[in-house]
Amino acid sequence: MKVVRIIFNVLRFDRANWKAVSLCILAAIVFWLFNAFNKNYSANIKFPIKFEFDGEKYIPADHLPQNVNVNVNGIGWEIFWNHIGWKTPQIILPLEQPADIKKIVASTLVPVVASQIGNLKVNFIVTDTLRIKIDRKISKRFKLYADVSNIEFNDGFGRVSPVVILPDSVLLEGPESHVRNIKDSIVLSVSANNVNENFRYEADILFEGSEFVKRDPSIAQVMFDVGTVQVISKKMRVGAEKNLLTSLPDSLTVKFQVPSKRVEEFESHFKEIQLKVIQIKTDGSKTLTSKILNLPSYAELVDIDSVRKVGKPNL
Structural domain spans, the chain:
2-37, 40-132, 137-224, 230-310
For residues 96-124, give the mean pLDDT: 89
Do the bridges between strand 67-75 and strand 214-216 make them parallel or antiparallel, or are there none, so unpaired? unpaired
CATH topology of domain 230-310: RNA Polymerase Alpha Subunit; Chain A, domain 2 (2.170.120)
pTM of the model: 0.71
At 30-56, the pLDDT tens digits run 544 554 445 677 888 889 999 999 999
pLDDT of residue 309: 41
Taking domain 40-132, whether its CATH number is 2.170.120 is answered by: yes
User: Which is nearest to 61 in space by CA: 215, 176, 197?
Assistant: 176
Mean pLDDT of the chain: 83
- What average pLDDT score do residues 280-285 get? 66
Task: Identify the band that residue 89 occupies on the pLDDT scale cut at 50, 70 and 90.
Answer: confident
Averaged pLDDT for residues 173-201: 93
Give the architecture (CATH level 2) of 137-224.
Beta Complex (2.170)
The helix or strand, by DSSP H or E, that contains position 150, with its residue range, turns out to be strand 134-153
Return the SS3 of 101: coil
> 161: Cβ–Cβ under 8 A, 6 or more apart, which residues?
224, 225, 298
Helix axes 15-37, 76-83, angle to 10 degrees: 100
List pLDDT tens digits, range 135-151.
999 999 999 999 998 99
**What's the chain's length in residues?**
315
Spatial CA neighbour of 231 closest among 200, 259, 251 = 259
